[in-house]
Structure 1
Amino acid sequence: MKKFALMLFAAFMAAGFTGCSDDDNKGEATETVSGFYTINGGNMSGKIPASITAYDYATGTATKALEDAFFAANEIALGEGAQQALVYNDKMYIVMYRSNLIWVVEPTTLKIITSIKPEGDAMSPRAITAKDGKLYCSMYTGYVVRIDAKTDEIDGTLKVGPNPDGVALAGNKLVVANTDGQNSKNKYANNGISVIDLATFTQTEIKNTKFVGNHPTEAVSNGTDAFVIMQGSYTAPDKDDYVAPIIVKVTGASEADITKVCEGSLACVAGDKLYVAMAPFGLAPDKITYKIYDVNTFAERGNMLTQVKGQDSEIESPNGVFVNPANGDIIVLSYYYDSASNKAFTKEPCYANIYDASGNFKKRIECGVGARAVTFINEKIAK
């Protein structure tokens, strides 16, 4: 396994990495994308650790589903609860929730440079983005920390709402989804959205509005347009207490600055397009929809992809949507699905379906357990 993974890395040398993210690396145009990593969260109840799968476009090969490219590079385990990875200033930051650390690695080899270990009240990192030499990471204990990208040290800590998760840039502001995720018995009653002014590193929290209260969890952006995913009731559509997941656009720090775009449970932004999957809990694969919306007008611009039932192009239980910034390829991560029990196989390897920019199926690759994020591999990193 180690030999195979290192062969993939050799193919990636002189490459850089980015994801469908909102960091300010978008200052230069991406020239090509040579591959991608999938960040696999593992499964705690099954005692399955996190891992990274590496895929090379040129050869069409990937590390095997139960192999870990991070372990191949470092001969130590990635850890528990991998969330996502971000490339910024020639370094890659891997966010580890349950291990309570952020790995800092060389993007082209995954070799460890250092690690950031949160201490004190601000712990359990969830999501990360970057702008103007600073990284911003949500901490599930109720904070956002600011990290100096040169020293990789935390230089600011800001208290936000309970259990923050997704973060997204809206120009010079940072939008944070405060999930109140550890308060399920009270239906996440204290959830909300924090809008942070990056210049002053101060926040305004928006709570108890007609949209905020629908359980915000994830946030996505193209650097300018920020969207928050509200997961609703976490019940199946045929239940009496069902509340549909929705996506809202956040343009400022007041209730008037929050606008509903559409229903949706997974999303990614690329340029002026918002890619949305509507896959609420308990919905059968043939009922899930995949659409594209305009980030400004919210007009529907068509279907995201084409599926054929019973073939590899069919997605069973999606867990993430991502877009190749160079050629528009659409990557959908998914669990395998047991139709008899209407449940996903969460302790088994996932897969990534690749579609072209027009939504035509290209191929499927196997990836690790709990695949939840994609980081693309570029030949040139914008700075």
Structure 2
Amino acid sequence: MKLRSLFFGTLCMLMLGVSFTSCSDDDDDSKKNDEGSKVELPENRVYILNMGSYQKNNAGITFYAPNKSLDVIDDIFFKQNNAKLGDAGQDMISYNNHIYVAVYGSKYITKLNEACVELKRYEFTDEQGQPRCMVAENGKIYVTLTSGNVARLDANTLAFEKMVAVGKNPEGIIEEDGKLYLVNSGFGYDNRLSIIDINTFDKAENIEIFQNPEKILEAGDKLFIQGYGSNDYNNYPYPVVLFDPTTKTYKEIGKGVYMAEHDDIVYVIYSETNYADNTSTHTLYSYNAKTNEKVEKAFVQMPEKLKTSIITMLSINPENGDFYIGAGNYTTNGDIYRFKKDGTFIEKFECGIDPKAAVFID
């Protein structure tokens, strides 16, 4: 990224967290647990986590009905709970008919029902650190913490159970074949992938990859890792690499700032942003994890405004393959651009400040 000040370099490292679609191990249950809802919601729902402006206590969750049966609700968390979500919404996932949100600055995780009514929360201590990213598996929530640990919480009660030390400032985390894989950015100075056996959850194996990694996802039994590639905010190379968990080696497949997966295809957006005038240029491509074929072609037909906007999120609806691309400027309300699986533009709708992650309820 070009013409970036130290302030923006630091701020954007915080903001560019995991933004690909987070829907893991949901029960196939058409009956929604909407108890306590102040509004009648349709069956199909999209929730957008908006990070908000850092330290402004204005994170929120936007509701969107993809079938247009209900108007957009700009902050359904506030509407349902009469309370602000907090400072710096960081990650959001769905699991077993509930929604979990990590709020970085406010240092807590909250459990919501499918109408975004808050049920429980766990507040982390200063020693435990601030939550970054989450994954759910076998009735547990695993969350990376700035203290250099991964915490395990009971998904039902949010009771804290245990922590395992990993690298410095762990970021994105996934589960694959009974193991947790997570990357450690070290605020720019770590270069390791950590692996933890879920069955024992007692120690981590650390493998050197590239410097300052941030995101990780699985596609076709392969791992894809994205990051900054250095600690020089003026010259981030933004590598996207394919990691082989068997040989524990990796190879670069291109550059990227955002990535998401659907049907074993990884979709990548690489952006170059000029913060002097807040404009961006974007390169899009996809990578088939089954055939190892890279397609150097835009997977969506971007409207003119999006072509120069700062992108903050890429998510894909796992049910129908629709793309949701978030754009914003980190200070005022952003927009979500929705596309069909074939890349055709559907519509744009307004959301909160800095759209960051999406959860899809069908």
TM-score normalized by structure 1? 0.78
Q: 1:79 aligns with which of 86, 95, 101?
A: 86
User: Cα distance, 1:357 vs. partner?
Assistant: 0.5
SS class of match (2:186): coil
Q: Say if 1:96 and 1:364 are closer, same or farther in 2 by CA, change over 3 A.
A: same
Counterpart Cα distance in 1 of 2:243 and 2:162 = 24
Counterpart Cα distance in 2 of 1:134 and 1:247 = 29
2:121 is matched with which residue?
115
Counterpart Cα distance in 2 of 1:308 and 1:281 = 18
User: Cα distance, 1:127 vs. partner?
Assistant: 0.5
Alignment pair present for 1:38 and 2:64: no
Q: Say if 1:373 and 1:363 are closer, same or farther in 2 by CA, change over 3 A.
A: same
1:289 is matched with which residue?
283
Q: Say if 1:315 and 1:63 are closer, same or farther in 2 by CA, change over 3 A.
A: farther
Q: Say if 1:48 and 1:154 are closer, same or farther in 2 by CA, change over 3 A.
A: closer
Counterpart Cα distance in 2 of 1:243 and 1:227 = 18
Q: What amino acid does structure 1 have at the position aligned with 2:93?
A: L
Q: Which runs of 5+ in 1 are unaligned?
A: 1-18, 182-187, 336-344, 379-383
Counterpart Cα distance in 2 of 1:257 and 1:34 = 41
Q: What amino acid does structure 1 have at the position aligned with 2:172?
A: G
| Partners of 1:34 and 1:57 within 8 A in 2 | yes
1:119-130 matches, cutoff 5 A: 119=125, 121-130=127-136
Alignment pair present for 1:306 and 2:313: no
Residues 321-370 of structure 1: CA deviation (Å, up to 9, x unaligned): 111111111110111xxxxxxxxx32011110001111111100000011
Q: What amino acid does structure 1 have at the position aligned with 2:334?
A: C
Alignment pair present for 1:372 and 2:356: yes
Alignment pair present for 1:165 and 2:171: yes
Task: Name the Cα RMSD after superposition.
Answer: 2.7
Counterpart Cα distance in 2 of 1:225 and 1:156 = 28
Alignment pair present for 1:193 and 2:167: no
Q: Say if 1:139 and 1:38 are closer, same or farther in 2 by CA, change over 3 A.
A: same
| Partners of 1:23 and 1:223 within 8 A in 2 | no
2:331 is matched with which residue?
347
Q: 2:228 aligns with which of 228, 231, 238?
A: 231
2:244 is matched with which residue?
251
1:137 is matched with which residue?
143
1:212 is matched with which residue?
210
Q: What amino acid does structure 2 have at the position aligned with 1:218?
A: K
User: Cα distance, 1:123 vs. partner?
Assistant: 2.1
Residues 256-282 of structure 1: CA deviation (Å, up to 9, x unaligned): 432323211100111211010011443
Counterpart Cα distance in 2 of 1:50 and 1:296 = 38
SS class of match (1:57): coil
1:7 is matched with which residue?
none
Alignment pair present for 1:58 and 2:67: yes
Alignment pair present for 1:275 and 2:267: yes
Counterpart Cα distance in 1 of 2:69 and 2:352 = 17
2:340 is matched with which residue?
356
1:332 is matched with which residue?
325
| Partners of 1:53 and 1:368 within 8 A in 2 | yes
Counterpart Cα distance in 2 of 1:194 and 1:58 = 41
Q: What amino acid does structure 1 have at the position aligned with 2:240?
A: I
Identity of aligned residues (%): 23
TM-score normalized by structure 2? 0.82
Q: Say if 1:225 and 1:133 are closer, same or farther in 2 by CA, change over 3 A.
A: farther
Q: What amino acid does structure 1 have at the position aligned with 2:79?
A: A
| Partners of 1:191 and 1:216 within 8 A in 2 | yes
Greater relative contact order (CA < 8 Å, ≥ 6 in sequence): 1
Q: How many corresponding residue pairs?
A: 328
SS class of match (2:80): helix
User: Cα distance, 1:252 vs. partner?
Assistant: 2.4
Alignment pair present for 1:95 and 2:102: yes
Counterpart Cα distance in 2 of 1:227 and 1:197 = 19
SS class of match (1:359): coil
Residues 11-39 of structure 1: CA deviation (Å, up to 9, x unaligned): xxxxxxxx8236333x8699x98231110
| Partners of 1:178 and 1:192 within 8 A in 2 | yes
| Partners of 2:144 and 2:172 within 8 A in 1 | yes
User: Cα distance, 1:135 vs. partner?
Assistant: 1.4
Q: What amino acid does structure 2 have at the position aligned with 1:83?
A: Q
Counterpart Cα distance in 2 of 1:42 and 1:194 = 29
